[in-house]
Amino acid sequence: MAKYIALTFDDGPNTVTTPMVLDVLEKHSAVGTFFLEGNNINEESAKVVKRAVEMGCEIENHSRTHTAFPQLTAEEMTAEIDFTTEKIIDITGRAPKFFRPPYIALNDLMYSTIPLTFICGKGCTDWEDSVSAEQRFDTTMAQAQHGDVILLHDMEGNINTVKALDRLIPALREEGYELVTVEELFEKCGAVPKSGVIYTNVLSDGK
């Protein structure tokens, strides 16, 4: 039976680490899903986003300012989402379908206000400089399951994730996984995105 998994990257785009992540994905003919912060999108980083789209990657919403949303009003939440969505549409011609909450901080108001499917993912603490590339690789491989979203970061200077990624892609394939975007993950796993749920595994969450 086919197994599917989605690699995702938070906190871009930037012109340093994001292109390195794309280089690794391209080297292995793989795709990923990038959750962008609106304030990081500028004329130069937009070129990086266009490259990602041309490679078959998916571009999604990670807010404008990476603020913890539970402290915001509904109007402030909407402004954060709309700003980044409009930036993404300008670059890609496609509206985001998925949202990763900053810090994975949640409340009920977010679910009732934000008209996107919420995505979390299995992480490896890869925002901490002290976590080595080998530790990131080992943690990710140990917890990988069919239907998973893997949560990584392409923030500027996050070289250990780039190094780990170069090993992860062939290792996951060796384990029988096909790497897909988040939208494809739902489709290939026969899962229908639901509101009021945050997904780390599209097969087990939302049931």
- Rounded Cα distance between 122 and 100, Å, is 12
pLDDT, mean of residues 164-182: 99
pLDDT, mean of residues 41-68: 99
What's the predicted TM-score (pTM) here? 0.98
Which CATH superfamily does the domain covering 3-199 fall into?
Glycoside hydrolase/deacetylase (3.20.20.370)
Domain ranges of the chain: 3-199
Is the predicted pLDDT of residue 137 greater than 80, yes or no?
yes
Residue 66 a catalytic site member = no
Give the model's pLDDT for residue 56: 99
Q: Residues 64, 37: contact at Cβ < 8 Å?
A: yes
Select from 93, 96, 92, 61 the least CA-distant residue to 77.
61
pLDDT, mean of residues 7-22: 98
Q: 196 exposed, middle or buried (CB, 10 Å; 0-12, 13-18, 19+)?
A: exposed
Query: Could you give phi then psi for residue 66, rounded to 5 degrees?
Result: 60, 40
Bridging pattern class, strands 33-36 and 3-12: parallel
Give the model's pLDDT for residue 1: 79
- Rounded Cα distance between 43 and 5, Å, is 31
pLDDT, mean of residues 114-137: 98
pLDDT, mean of residues 160-169: 99
Residue 153 a catalytic site member = yes
In the three-class reduction of DSSP (H, G, I as helix; E, B as strand; rest coil), residue 52 is classed as helix
Per the document, the length of the chain is 207
Q: Residues 182, 129: contact at Cβ < 8 Å?
A: no
Is the predicted pLDDT of residue 172 greater than 90, yes or no?
yes
Please, which residues have CB within 8 angstroms of residue 23's CB and are 6 or more apart in sequence?
A: none
pLDDT band at residue 71 under the 50/70/90 scheme:
very high
Structure tokens at 48: 């990086």
DSSP letter, residue 27 = H
- Rounded Cα distance between 91 and 38, Å, is 12
Q: Which residues sit opposite 34 in a β-bridge?
A: 9, 59
Q: Residues 20, 162: contact at Cβ < 8 Å?
A: yes
- Rounded Cα distance between 80 and 69, Å, is 9
Give the model's pLDDT for residue 207: 72
Is the predicted pLDDT of residue 19 greater than 90, yes or no?
yes
pLDDT, mean of residues 4-31: 99
pLDDT, mean of residues 97-113: 98
Per annotation, catalytic residue among 11, 126, 146, 153 = 153
Give the model's pLDDT for residue 206: 85
Bridging pattern class, strands 148-153 and 177-180: unpaired
